[in-house]
Amino acid sequence: MAKTLLATVRPERAGTPVDAAKFGIVQKRLSTWENVWNQAWLRKLLILIALAAIWEIYGRAVNNQLIVPPFSDTIKAFFASIADGELPAKVWTSIKVLSFGYAMGVFLAAVLTTLAITTRFGNDLLETLTAMFNPLPAIALLPLALLWFGLKPFSLAFVLIHSVLWPVALNTHTGFVAVSTTLRMVGKNYGLRGVGYVAKILIPAAFPSILAGLKLGWAFAWRTLIAAELVFGVTTGGGGLGWFIVENKNVLNIPYVFAGLFTVILIGLFVENVIFRTIEQRTIRRWGMAS
Protein backbone atom coordinates (compact mmCIF):
# COMPACT_ATOMS: atom_id res chain seq x y z
CA MET A 1 0.00 0.00 0.00
CA ALA A 2 2.66 2.42 1.10
CA LYS A 3 4.59 1.77 -2.07
CA THR A 4 1.72 2.62 -4.40
CA LEU A 5 0.93 5.79 -2.43
CA LEU A 6 4.51 6.96 -2.78
CA ALA A 7 4.58 6.06 -6.43
CA THR A 8 1.63 8.24 -7.43
CA VAL A 9 2.00 11.89 -6.60
CA ARG A 10 -1.30 13.26 -7.82
CA PRO A 11 -1.12 16.45 -9.84
CA GLU A 12 -2.74 19.63 -8.51
CA ARG A 13 -5.79 20.90 -10.28
CA ALA A 14 -7.78 24.11 -10.54
CA GLY A 15 -11.50 24.56 -11.05
CA THR A 16 -13.27 27.46 -12.71
CA PRO A 17 -16.55 28.19 -10.91
CA VAL A 18 -19.24 29.34 -13.31
CA ASP A 19 -21.35 32.37 -12.45
CA ALA A 20 -24.55 31.23 -10.79
CA ALA A 21 -26.68 33.07 -13.33
CA LYS A 22 -25.34 30.94 -16.14
CA PHE A 23 -26.74 27.63 -15.01
CA GLY A 24 -30.39 26.74 -14.52
CA ILE A 25 -31.90 26.48 -11.09
CA VAL A 26 -30.14 27.12 -7.82
CA GLN A 27 -33.30 27.64 -5.82
CA LYS A 28 -36.59 26.33 -7.17
CA ARG A 29 -39.97 27.35 -5.88
CA LEU A 30 -42.08 24.50 -4.57
CA SER A 31 -45.09 23.51 -6.64
CA THR A 32 -48.53 24.68 -5.55
CA TRP A 33 -49.43 21.18 -4.42
CA GLU A 34 -46.27 20.94 -2.29
CA ASN A 35 -47.05 24.33 -0.77
CA VAL A 36 -50.58 23.25 0.06
CA TRP A 37 -49.43 19.96 1.54
CA ASN A 38 -46.90 21.82 3.69
CA GLN A 39 -49.74 23.52 5.60
CA ALA A 40 -50.06 21.61 8.87
CA TRP A 41 -53.62 22.83 9.49
CA LEU A 42 -54.75 21.55 6.12
CA ARG A 43 -53.34 18.10 6.77
CA LYS A 44 -55.00 18.07 10.17
CA LEU A 45 -58.30 19.24 8.68
CA LEU A 46 -58.12 16.33 6.29
CA ILE A 47 -57.71 13.93 9.22
CA LEU A 48 -60.73 15.49 10.93
CA ILE A 49 -62.85 15.16 7.78
CA ALA A 50 -61.84 11.52 7.43
CA LEU A 51 -62.73 10.84 11.07
CA ALA A 52 -66.14 12.53 10.67
CA ALA A 53 -66.79 10.42 7.56
CA ILE A 54 -65.92 7.19 9.39
CA TRP A 55 -68.17 8.24 12.26
CA GLU A 56 -71.05 9.01 9.90
CA ILE A 57 -70.75 5.67 8.09
CA TYR A 58 -70.43 3.68 11.33
CA GLY A 59 -73.38 5.51 12.91
CA ARG A 60 -75.58 4.74 9.93
CA ALA A 61 -74.46 1.10 9.94
CA VAL A 62 -75.29 0.70 13.64
CA ASN A 63 -78.53 2.55 13.06
CA ASN A 64 -79.26 3.07 16.75
CA GLN A 65 -79.56 6.65 18.03
CA LEU A 66 -79.12 5.44 21.60
CA ILE A 67 -75.70 3.92 21.00
CA VAL A 68 -73.95 5.89 18.26
CA PRO A 69 -75.87 8.69 16.58
CA PRO A 70 -74.27 9.51 13.22
CA PHE A 71 -72.12 12.60 12.83
CA SER A 72 -74.88 14.45 10.96
CA ASP A 73 -77.36 14.00 13.84
CA THR A 74 -74.74 15.13 16.34
CA ILE A 75 -74.09 18.24 14.28
CA LYS A 76 -77.82 18.90 14.00
CA ALA A 77 -78.19 18.58 17.78
CA PHE A 78 -75.12 20.79 18.20
CA PHE A 79 -76.53 23.62 16.09
CA ALA A 80 -80.03 23.24 17.53
CA SER A 81 -78.58 23.55 20.99
CA ILE A 82 -76.57 26.59 20.00
CA ALA A 83 -79.66 28.14 18.42
CA ASP A 84 -81.80 27.81 21.53
CA GLY A 85 -78.98 29.30 23.59
CA GLU A 86 -78.62 26.37 25.96
CA LEU A 87 -75.19 25.14 24.89
CA PRO A 88 -73.54 28.61 24.79
CA ALA A 89 -74.88 29.31 28.29
CA LYS A 90 -73.43 26.04 29.62
CA VAL A 91 -70.12 26.63 27.87
CA TRP A 92 -69.97 30.13 29.31
CA THR A 93 -70.56 28.80 32.84
CA SER A 94 -67.77 26.26 32.39
CA ILE A 95 -65.38 28.79 30.86
CA LYS A 96 -65.97 31.25 33.71
CA VAL A 97 -65.08 28.69 36.38
CA LEU A 98 -62.23 27.41 34.25
CA SER A 99 -60.59 30.77 33.65
CA PHE A 100 -60.85 31.70 37.31
CA GLY A 101 -59.32 28.39 38.42
CA TYR A 102 -56.66 28.50 35.72
CA ALA A 103 -55.65 32.07 36.48
CA MET A 104 -55.47 31.38 40.21
CA GLY A 105 -53.47 28.21 39.63
CA VAL A 106 -50.96 30.00 37.38
CA PHE A 107 -50.68 32.90 39.82
CA LEU A 108 -49.98 30.59 42.77
CA ALA A 109 -47.49 28.64 40.65
CA ALA A 110 -45.70 31.92 39.87
CA VAL A 111 -45.52 32.82 43.57
CA LEU A 112 -44.27 29.37 44.55
CA THR A 113 -41.60 29.18 41.86
CA THR A 114 -40.38 32.72 42.53
CA LEU A 115 -40.00 31.71 46.18
CA ALA A 116 -38.30 28.50 45.11
CA ILE A 117 -35.61 30.20 43.05
CA THR A 118 -34.93 33.01 45.50
CA THR A 119 -34.67 31.01 48.72
CA ARG A 120 -33.45 27.53 49.55
CA PHE A 121 -36.41 26.97 51.85
CA GLY A 122 -38.77 27.91 49.02
CA ASN A 123 -37.03 25.37 46.85
CA ASP A 124 -37.51 22.62 49.44
CA LEU A 125 -41.12 23.66 49.90
CA LEU A 126 -41.90 23.48 46.20
CA GLU A 127 -40.13 20.17 45.75
CA THR A 128 -41.96 18.58 48.68
CA LEU A 129 -45.36 19.96 47.75
CA THR A 130 -45.15 19.00 44.08
CA ALA A 131 -43.89 15.54 45.01
CA MET A 132 -46.90 15.13 47.31
CA PHE A 133 -49.68 16.68 45.27
CA ASN A 134 -48.73 16.28 41.63
CA PRO A 135 -49.63 12.57 41.55
CA LEU A 136 -52.92 13.19 43.41
CA PRO A 137 -55.82 13.28 40.90
CA ALA A 138 -57.69 16.55 41.27
CA ILE A 139 -61.04 14.82 41.08
CA ALA A 140 -60.18 12.91 44.26
CA LEU A 141 -60.26 16.23 46.10
CA LEU A 142 -63.79 17.03 44.96
CA PRO A 143 -65.60 15.33 47.88
CA LEU A 144 -63.45 17.29 50.31
CA ALA A 145 -63.95 20.52 48.38
CA LEU A 146 -67.72 20.04 48.46
CA LEU A 147 -67.53 19.45 52.20
CA TRP A 148 -65.44 22.58 52.78
CA PHE A 149 -66.94 25.05 50.34
CA GLY A 150 -70.39 23.57 49.70
CA LEU A 151 -72.21 23.42 46.36
CA LYS A 152 -70.58 26.56 45.07
CA PRO A 153 -68.52 27.27 41.97
CA PHE A 154 -65.56 27.81 44.27
CA SER A 155 -65.50 24.08 45.02
CA LEU A 156 -64.91 23.49 41.33
CA ALA A 157 -62.36 26.30 41.18
CA PHE A 158 -60.50 24.76 44.13
CA VAL A 159 -60.18 21.46 42.32
CA LEU A 160 -59.10 23.31 39.16
CA ILE A 161 -56.44 25.25 41.02
CA HIS A 162 -55.08 21.99 42.31
CA SER A 163 -54.95 20.49 38.83
CA VAL A 164 -53.20 23.56 37.32
CA LEU A 165 -50.85 24.62 40.11
CA TRP A 166 -48.53 21.61 40.34
CA PRO A 167 -47.76 20.89 36.69
CA VAL A 168 -47.25 24.60 35.96
CA ALA A 169 -45.05 25.10 39.03
CA LEU A 170 -43.02 22.00 38.31
CA ASN A 171 -42.39 22.92 34.67
CA THR A 172 -41.62 26.55 35.41
CA HIS A 173 -39.19 25.57 38.13
CA THR A 174 -37.46 23.03 35.89
CA GLY A 175 -37.21 25.76 33.25
CA PHE A 176 -35.70 28.26 35.69
CA VAL A 177 -33.13 25.77 36.93
CA ALA A 178 -32.12 24.93 33.36
CA VAL A 179 -31.37 28.56 32.37
CA SER A 180 -27.73 28.57 31.28
CA THR A 181 -25.07 29.98 33.58
CA THR A 182 -23.99 32.33 30.81
CA LEU A 183 -27.42 33.96 30.54
CA ARG A 184 -27.58 34.27 34.32
CA MET A 185 -24.19 35.97 34.36
CA VAL A 186 -25.27 38.26 31.53
CA GLY A 187 -28.33 39.31 33.56
CA LYS A 188 -26.24 39.98 36.66
CA ASN A 189 -23.75 41.87 34.51
CA TYR A 190 -26.53 44.32 33.54
CA GLY A 191 -27.07 44.95 37.22
CA LEU A 192 -30.43 43.17 37.26
CA ARG A 193 -31.52 41.90 40.67
CA GLY A 194 -34.61 40.35 42.27
CA VAL A 195 -37.90 40.73 40.43
CA GLY A 196 -36.32 42.50 37.44
CA TYR A 197 -33.90 39.60 37.04
CA VAL A 198 -36.71 37.04 37.21
CA ALA A 199 -38.98 38.97 34.83
CA LYS A 200 -36.39 40.04 32.26
CA ILE A 201 -34.02 37.08 32.22
CA LEU A 202 -35.39 33.94 33.87
CA ILE A 203 -38.97 33.99 32.59
CA PRO A 204 -38.15 34.57 28.91
CA ALA A 205 -35.19 32.19 29.06
CA ALA A 206 -37.36 29.48 30.62
CA PHE A 207 -40.35 30.28 28.42
CA PRO A 208 -40.35 26.99 26.47
CA SER A 209 -40.74 25.07 29.74
CA ILE A 210 -43.24 27.56 31.12
CA LEU A 211 -45.37 27.28 27.99
CA ALA A 212 -45.22 23.48 28.15
CA GLY A 213 -46.40 23.73 31.77
CA LEU A 214 -49.24 26.08 30.83
CA LYS A 215 -50.38 23.69 28.10
CA LEU A 216 -50.25 20.74 30.45
CA GLY A 217 -52.09 22.73 33.12
CA TRP A 218 -54.76 23.72 30.62
CA ALA A 219 -55.32 20.11 29.54
CA PHE A 220 -55.53 18.94 33.15
CA ALA A 221 -57.89 21.77 34.09
CA TRP A 222 -60.25 21.21 31.17
CA ARG A 223 -60.45 17.47 31.81
CA THR A 224 -60.88 17.95 35.55
CA LEU A 225 -63.61 20.52 35.04
CA ILE A 226 -65.74 18.33 32.79
CA ALA A 227 -65.24 15.33 35.09
CA ALA A 228 -66.07 17.39 38.17
CA GLU A 229 -69.22 18.77 36.55
CA LEU A 230 -70.33 15.25 35.72
CA VAL A 231 -70.03 14.30 39.38
CA PHE A 232 -70.93 17.65 40.85
CA GLY A 233 -73.96 18.32 38.69
CA VAL A 234 -75.79 21.56 38.94
CA THR A 235 -74.84 24.34 41.32
CA THR A 236 -76.68 27.56 41.72
CA GLY A 237 -78.61 28.26 38.54
CA GLY A 238 -77.32 26.63 35.33
CA GLY A 239 -74.57 24.03 35.35
CA GLY A 240 -71.71 23.75 32.93
CA LEU A 241 -70.90 21.64 29.92
CA GLY A 242 -70.46 18.49 32.03
CA TRP A 243 -73.94 18.97 33.43
CA PHE A 244 -75.29 19.42 29.89
CA ILE A 245 -73.93 15.93 29.09
CA VAL A 246 -75.38 14.28 32.23
CA GLU A 247 -78.74 15.99 31.81
CA ASN A 248 -79.17 14.80 28.23
CA LYS A 249 -78.00 11.30 29.11
CA ASN A 250 -80.68 11.16 31.81
CA VAL A 251 -83.40 11.88 29.25
CA LEU A 252 -81.73 9.55 26.70
CA ASN A 253 -81.18 12.42 24.32
CA ILE A 254 -78.00 10.82 23.01
CA PRO A 255 -77.28 13.11 20.01
CA TYR A 256 -77.16 15.96 22.54
CA VAL A 257 -74.74 13.96 24.70
CA PHE A 258 -72.53 13.61 21.64
CA ALA A 259 -72.99 17.30 20.86
CA GLY A 260 -71.75 18.06 24.38
CA LEU A 261 -68.69 15.85 23.94
CA PHE A 262 -68.15 17.39 20.52
CA THR A 263 -68.10 20.84 22.14
CA VAL A 264 -65.54 19.68 24.70
CA ILE A 265 -63.33 18.49 21.84
CA LEU A 266 -63.87 21.68 19.80
CA ILE A 267 -62.87 23.93 22.65
CA GLY A 268 -59.86 21.73 23.38
CA LEU A 269 -58.76 21.89 19.74
CA PHE A 270 -59.30 25.64 19.60
CA VAL A 271 -57.21 26.37 22.67
CA GLU A 272 -54.44 23.99 21.63
CA ASN A 273 -54.28 24.87 17.93
CA VAL A 274 -55.21 28.52 17.92
CA ILE A 275 -54.35 30.10 21.26
CA PHE A 276 -51.29 28.12 22.31
CA ARG A 277 -50.01 27.76 18.76
CA THR A 278 -50.21 31.51 18.21
CA ILE A 279 -48.35 32.16 21.44
CA GLU A 280 -45.75 29.59 20.44
CA GLN A 281 -45.23 31.08 17.01
CA ARG A 282 -44.90 34.61 18.31
CA THR A 283 -42.46 33.62 21.03
CA ILE A 284 -40.33 30.53 21.19
CA ARG A 285 -40.48 29.66 17.49
CA ARG A 286 -39.59 33.18 16.45
CA TRP A 287 -36.75 33.19 18.97
CA GLY A 288 -35.40 29.88 17.70
CA MET A 289 -35.97 28.26 21.09
CA ALA A 290 -38.17 25.55 19.56
CA SER A 291 -38.01 23.96 16.15
Query: Are the C-beta atoms of residues 168 and 216 closer than 8 Å to each other?
Result: yes
Judged by CB under 8 A, the stretch of 22-30, 52-60, 222-230, 281-289 that binds another protein is 281-289
Q: Computed from CA positions of residues 94, 135, 206, 114, in that sequence, does the dihedral angle turn out positive or negative?
A: positive
Q: Is 66 exposed, middle or buried (0-12, 13-18, 19+ CB in 10 A)?
A: exposed
Among 33, 185, 250, 251, the residue binding another protein under the rule CB under 8 A is 185
User: Which residues between 104 and 143 bind another protein (CB under 8 A)?
Assistant: none
Instruction: Annotate each residue in 231-270 with x if it binds another protein (CB under 8 A) or - if it does not, as one string.
Output: ----------------------------------------
Q: How far is the CB of 212 from another protein (least distance, A)?
A: 16
- Non-local (6+) Cβ contacts of 145 within 8 A are 155, 156, 158, 159
Q: Among candidates 161, 247, 144, which has minimal Cα distance to 239?
A: 247
Give the whole-angstrom CA distance, residue 115 versus residue 211: 19
Residues 6 or more apart from 55 whose CB is under 8 A from it? 68, 70, 71
Among 91, 168, 205, 241, binds another protein (CB under 8 A): 205
Closest contact distance (angstroms) between CB of 188 and another protein is 4
Of 183, 230, 246, 267, which lies in the binding site for another protein, with binding defined by CB under 8 A? 183
Buried b / exposed e along 209-226 (16+ C-beta atoms within 10 A): bbbbbbbbbbbbbbebbb
Using left for φ > 0, alpha for ψ between -120 and 50, and beta otherwise, residue 13 falls in beta
Q: Does 186 bind another protein (CB under 8 A)?
A: yes
Phi, psi of 109 (to 5 degrees): -60, -40
Shortest distance in whole angstroms from residue 111 CB to another protein: 23
Stretches 73-81, 203-211, 216-224, 225-233: which one binds another protein (CB under 8 A)?
Answer: 203-211
Is there binding between residue 221 and another protein (CB under 8 A)? no
Assess 194 for contact with another protein (CB under 8 A). no
Q: Which residue in the set 27, 182, 236, 250 belongs to the binding site for another protein (CB under 8 A)?
A: 182
Q: How far is CA 208 from CA 95, 127, 129, 265, in A?
A: 25, 20, 23, 25
Pick one of 4, 16, 63, 189: the residue that binds another protein (CB under 8 A): 189
Nearer to another protein, 73 or 280 (CB): 280
Minimum CB distance to another protein, residue 179 (Å): 10
Among 131, 200, 231, 273, binds another protein (CB under 8 A): 200
Q: How does DSSP assign 100-113, residue by residue?
A: HHHHHHHHHHHHHH
- CA–CA separation, 112 and 110 (whole Å): 6
Q: Which of 82, 104, 246, 289 binds another protein (CB under 8 A)?
A: 289
Binding site for another protein (CB under 8 A): 180, 182-183, 185-186, 188-192, 196, 200-201, 204-205, 207, 283, 286-289
